[in-house]
Amino acid sequence: MSNSSRKYLIAGNWKMNKNATEGVELAEDIVSQLGSKTSVGVVVCPPYTALESVGKAISESNIQLGSQNMNPEASGAYTGEISAEMLRSLFVTHAILGHSERRALFHENDAFINKKVLAALANNLRPILCVGETLEERESNKTIDIVSAQIRKGLEGVGEDQAENIVVAYEPVWAIGTGKTATPEMAQEVHAAIRKVLSELLGEEKADKVRILYGGSMKPENAPELLAQPDIDGGLIGGAALTARSFVGIVEAAAELAG
């Protein structure tokens, strides 16, 4: 395995799919197909309404539970929102924050996402901070600048002592749900740039421990090549996380590389 100090992490982002009952069915299928593999970290992120039932379905497995969002405030008049403490009470361990769909459709900016990252860490939740460029930004050669700024702003105020709890996901917006994947070389270039920014923020030793996931049309077929890149430490999977066979196929690809 090229990135030997980091354990692969495969996270499934179910987005607005699966009600509580369907979520349990999918989770049970994943549990039975996965067996007791422990060489790869696995997280499933169902919608809020399925967190409790899916949490129960995976409670005897090594799979962890993640949310797709979180409000940074502790409690109060925030109609429709969910706090970190509410998630913790359902045994959630990870929170996807700053997904490009939330940035684009719900107008979330870096400052708000940063508040969420800090609140998640303060509540013992591991943020999966999502960053990525649009097609227009890539075509005008702004990818590294955009992504670096998203990392700097998203992690503002995060101390070195929290480095091991941070997960970053690089998701080129043009590759999400489109069937277009960044080539392994394109992804590796951005992952390496992200790690460089992380070492400026947290020091090299800590930056080496942060897992940087790739997201954007990852499937069992393209996972081996992507995951073999030195700075790609896992995947954030959308479409392919909605069937047990393809999700487990990606976990198996990571397990193969982990040896």
Position 104 contacts ligand PGA (CB under 6 A): no
> CB of residue 147 vs ligand PGA: minimum separation in angstroms?
15
168-227 binders of ligand PGA (CB under 6 A): 171, 176-177, 215-218
Closest to ligand PGA by CB, 64 vs 217, is 217
Backbone angles phi, psi at 210, to 5 degrees: -75, 130
Nearer Cβ to ligand PGA (117/202):
117
How far from 219 is each of 46, 192, 223, 231, CA to CA, in Å?
A: 19, 22, 6, 18
Q: Is 99 a catalytic residue?
A: yes
Residue 113 within binding range of ligand PGA, rule CB under 6 A: no
Identified binder of ligand PGA from the candidate list 113, 167, 238, 251, rule CB under 6 A: 238
Q: Closest approach of Cβ 171 to ligand PGA, in Å?
A: 6
Q: Does 239 bind ligand PGA (CB under 6 A)?
A: yes
Least distance CB 239 / ligand PGA (angstroms): 4
CA–CA dist 185, 229 (Å, integer):
8
Please pick, among 94, 99, 133, 252, the residue that the annotation labels catalytic.
Answer: 99
Instruction: Mark the segment that binds ligand PGA (CB under 6 A) among 2-10, 47-55, 111-119, 237-245.
Output: 237-245
Closest to ligand PGA by CB, 202 or 223: 223
CA 81 to chain centre: 20
Nearest approach, Cβ of residue 118 and ligand PGA (Å): 22
Q: Yes or no: say if 131 and 168 are a contact pair by the CB < 8 Å rule.
A: yes
Residue 70 CB, shortest distance to ligand PGA, in Å, is 16
User: By the criterion CB under 6 A, which residues form the site for ligand PGA?
Assistant: 13, 171, 176-177, 215-218, 236-240
Catalytic residues: 99, 171
